[in-house]
Amino acid sequence: MGRWSSRLAPRFVEWIAAPPASHWLDVGCGTGRFTQAILDDAAPASVTGCDPSERFVAYARANQRDPRARFEIGTASALPPRSPGYDVVASNLVLNFVPSPVDAVRAMTTAAVKGGRIAACVWDYADGMQYVHRFWAAAARVDPAAGALDEGRRFPICAPDALAALFTSAGLSDVTTSAITIDMPLRDFADYWEPMLGGVGPVGAYLAGLPAATRDAIARELERTLPRAADGGIPLTARAFVVSGRT
């Protein structure tokens, strides 16, 4: 998914529209892709990225040379502090994975300055993230048990009304939601299917646990139903929902 989150990140930064020289906190920074987008496109004074994974933080530190960036170990509910606070606290494609989204948004609010911007971005798993949505639809036709694993069902927070309610419940004002859609072109079926076989994420873990015959049947169902361009490519799109508010 990294190739698509890299396309999404600058669009999210643009939507946040923070003033230059702001101090940012990237919550759940992973390997630092969103931090890099902030550095490239937002002219920040500083960016602090935090993640609970020591391996991700070590990778980000080793691969980011911009003096405005630093990376710390931290969870969504135990964020690295800054005095007097951060101007922008943002979470990109993380909020639906944390144990308690409401605690995470409250912690993000506490970490910000008065009047600071809190923002989050999540994929529209229920419909707009076609790469994943089409997979689970095909998998459920082959294996009915797959339906319960669909992120569209597992992550009801990934919807504009739910995101707005979450931010409002955390005491934020000027809460706004929107959608960002990116193109997701794939060269051929192998470009779609093979990344799923690495065992990473909900789709990868599900496929890794299947008998080969069931896995092959899902592949055939996908080959039959995925849209195709004249050149054999697979022209998908991916939609994300974004939300922001003020402390």
Q: Determine what percent of the chain is predicted with pLDDT higher than 90.
A: 89
Q: In the predicted model, what is the mean pLDDT of residues 62-78?
A: 95
pLDDT of residue 154: 86
Across the beta sheet with 46-51, the strand order is 69-73, 46-51, 23-27, 86-92, 112-123, 234-246, 173-186
Residues contacting residue 242 through CB under 8 Å, at least 6 positions apart: 12, 15, 119, 120, 121, 177, 178, 179, 180
Q: Residue 120's closest CA among 74, 172, 85? A: 172
Residue 73, beta-bridge partner list: 51
pLDDT digits (tens, 9 = 90+) for 12-56: 999 999 999 999 999 999 999 999 999 999 999 999 999 999 999
Look at residue 62 and give its three-state secondary structure. helix
Tokens of 27: 């919550």
Q: Given the structure tokens 């409401």, which residue do they identify?
A: 102
pLDDT of residue 165: 98
pLDDT digits (tens, 9 = 90+) for 132-165: 999 999 999 999 999 888 888 889 999 999 999 9
**120-144 burial: b if 16+ Cβ within 10 Å, else e:** bbbbbbbebbbbbbbbbbbbbebbe
Its domain, for residue 44, covers 2-246
CATH of residue 65's domain is 3.40.50.150
pLDDT digits (tens, 9 = 90+) for 13-25: 999 999 999 999 9
Residues contacting residue 129 through CB under 8 Å, at least 6 positions apart: 123, 151, 238, 239, 240
pLDDT of residue 1: 66
Tokens of 219: 């592949």
Q: Contact at 8 Å (CB) between 88 and 119?
A: yes
Q: Contact at 8 Å (CB) between 1 and 182?
A: no
Lowest mean pLDDT among 75-79, 141-145, 228-232: 75-79
Count up the domains in the chain and report the number.
Answer: 1
SS (H, E, C) 161-173: HHHHHHHHHCCCE
pTM confidence score: 0.91
